[in-house]
Amino acid sequence: MKNTILALAIFCLAFTSYSNNPIKRDKMNTTLQLTQEWDKTFTKSNKVDHKKVTFKNRYGIELAADMYTPKDANGKLPAIAVSGPFGAVKEQSSGLYAQHMAERGFLTIAFDPSFTGESGGEPRRMASPDINTEDFLAAVDFLSVQENVDPERIGIIGICGFGGMAINAAALDPRIKATVASTMYDMSKVNVEGYFKSEDTKEQRMEKRKAIAAQRTQDFKNGSYKRAGGVIDPLPEDAPFFVKDYYDYYKTKRGYHKRSGNSNDGWNVIGCQSFMNQPLLAWAHEIEAPVLLIHGEKAHSRYFSEYAFENMTGVHVEGESKAVDNKELMIIPGAVHTDLYDDVNNRIPYDKMESFFKQNLK
């Protein structure tokens, strides 16, 4: 072990704290412009207290979050950090999840990932399997030092594309004692293979690499980044159901938000390049802490959770709930992908999440 630590120190200078002059972290004085009025896509609860908070990740990017605390809470609380969906903001699904879990006794934060929403990071609307996983770890850093949080009882929730990031974070950080991935995407898998392995040949991947490389050159010439566009609008009559599903959330009063990339002009075209050769679930099979995967039976994305479950347990499942040791796949009958984004159809299993976290954050 000693030799391993020394080797890591040589290669990444990660252990400077062993010196007599440790590097001090920057003070957390925010430079972000944070909206103070309630501008969420869901109604404010009278059962919790709410405030804006900020914290920095290890790359120095300042993240903005909403903190939800149970009213009249006493002592040190279990805590949960929430983020996602991919291309959304904390005023949408993640804030809804966070508020519900705070109503059930947890201190929670819903944060905007780096480069999005009210969080810092330039250029805007970039994504990174490394940095976005780090965003979860930074949230754990922040929660760990709150006076009203028990640092031994911290969990995370990742929604949609941040479900995969949450699993990656759980594989990396043993401080995370329990993880929920809801209606998850594996952003590495979908970028490498396309949907349902529709672009899963060497030649197809090379075409993607060439297209992104060409766009990088063009962006550099232009001095700006071309946006890929959010959810398509107007919606074509012949659009696939999952596109209609996204439209019904992101482009209507149900879920539209002015800071959401999916609701507006989307990610940068080159924004997801790194997912092409950085597999998020590479070490998911070594997660020791409990993981709960929640997915809709009719969701186009269900196979991502089934793939993650098989990765962690070695058990192949299709369309049914299954538990192996402390890993569980919960399938919601009849639910589609965005049914787990909000409470319109009352499909999000808050009772199950409450019992899962209370059992494992104790």
> Which residues lie closer than 8 Å to 221 by C-beta, 6 or more apart?
none
Indicate the SS3 state at residue 175.
coil
- How far, in Å, CA of 342 to CA of 159, rounded? 11
Q: Contact 69/45 with Cβ under 8 angstroms?
A: no
pLDDT of residue 214: 98
CB atoms within 10 A of CB 329: 25
The pLDDT tens digits of the residues spanning 299-318 come to: 999 999 999 999 999 999 99
- How far, in Å, CA of 256 to CA of 127, rounded? 21
Q: Is the pLDDT of residue 97 over 80?
A: yes
Q: Which domains does the chain have, with CATH numbers?
A: 2-200+276-360 (3.40.50.1820)
> Which residues lie closer than 8 Å to 8 by C-beta, 6 or more apart?
14, 15
The pLDDT tens digits of the residues spanning 230-254 come to: 999 999 999 999 999 999 999 999 9
- How far, in Å, CA of 260 to CA of 233, rounded? 15
Quick one: which of 167, 204, 136, 184 has its CA closest to 279? 167
Which bin fits 209, alpha (ψ -120 to 50), beta or left (φ > 0)?
alpha
- How far, in Å, CA of 64 to CA of 69, rounded? 16
Q: Contact 227/320 with Cβ under 8 angstroms?
A: no
Question: Per-residue confidence at 11, pLDDT binned at 50, 70, 90?
Answer: very low
pLDDT of residue 333: 98
| 129: amino acid identity, one letter | P
pTM of the model: 0.93
The answer to whether the bond into 113 is cis (omega within 30° of 0) is: no
Indicate the SS3 state at residue 58.
coil
Q: Contact 80/108 with Cβ under 8 angstroms?
A: yes
| Mean pLDDT of the chain, nearest integer | 93
The pLDDT tens digits of the residues spanning 146-191 come to: 999 999 999 999 999 999 999 999 999 999 999 999 999 999 999 9
User: Residues of the chain with pLDDT > 70: what percent?
Assistant: 92
Number of helical H runs and strand E runs in the chain = 9, 9
- How far, in Å, CA of 293 to CA of 297, rounded? 12
